Amino acid sequence: MQAQPIQLHMLAPAAVLVFWSLVMLAWLARARFAAMAGLGRDLSKAPPGGRGQNLEGIMPDRVMWKSHNYTHLMEQPTLFYAVVLILTLAGPAPTDIALAWAYTSLRVIHSLWQATVNTIPVRFTLFILSSACLASLAVRALILTL
């Protein structure tokens, strides 16, 4: 078995986070459909142009937590994907790979926390820790490319 180049090791955490985002999307869809059925709402009678945010105050908070988290996974992680690609092309160091895995792990934990418990102090701590990983990766990408 041949060893993988270090660049592939840098891409793996990003691939895992993409997959996790799809898991959250499926969890969100399942929770929304179950809640709609429980509320007795017929989706075929919904007005055209509806958006997920229109469900605030209609859906139970615990259902909306999953929606909020999925939105979060479409926000800051986009910067992560860009910095991972930059580092992959520039030549990642083992520390970069470790920081990318730390970021991905913290985002998954953040998702699980927000989707189930959702207390702000823990969620904020997870966000700050993951943001510190991302900032470190961004600085490293900047250093390698200038």
Give the span between the Cα atoms of 24 and 115, in whole angstroms: 9
> Taking the CA atoms of the chain, what radius of gyration do you get in angstroms?
18
Tell me whether residue 65 is in a domain.
yes
On whether residue 124 sits in a domain, the answer given is: yes
CATH number at residue 64: 1.20.120.550
Q: Is the pLDDT of residue 23 over 80?
A: yes
For residues 72 and 123, the answer to whether their CB atoms sit within 8 Å is no
**What is the per-residue pLDDT for 41?**
64
Judge whether 21 lies within some domain: yes
Residues 112/21, Cβ–Cβ less than 8 Å: no
What are the backbone angles phi and psi of residue 79, rounded to the nearest 5°? -70, -40
What pLDDT sits at residue 24?
Answer: 98
**pLDDT (tens digit, 9 = 90+) per residue, 62-112?**
999 999 999 999 999 999 999 999 999 999 999 999 999 999 999 999 999
In whole angstroms, how far apart are CA 28 and each of 9, 32, 75, 131?
Answer: 29, 6, 17, 24
Collapsing DSSP to helix, strand or coil, 72 comes out as: helix
Q: Considering the domain boundaries, does residue 1 fall inside one?
A: no
Q: How far apart are CA 88 and CA 6, in angstroms?
A: 8
Q: List pLDDT tens digits, range 27-52.
A: 999 999 899 888 776 656 666 665 66
- Domain containing 31 equals 6-145
pTM: 0.90
Per the structure, the count of domains in the chain is 1
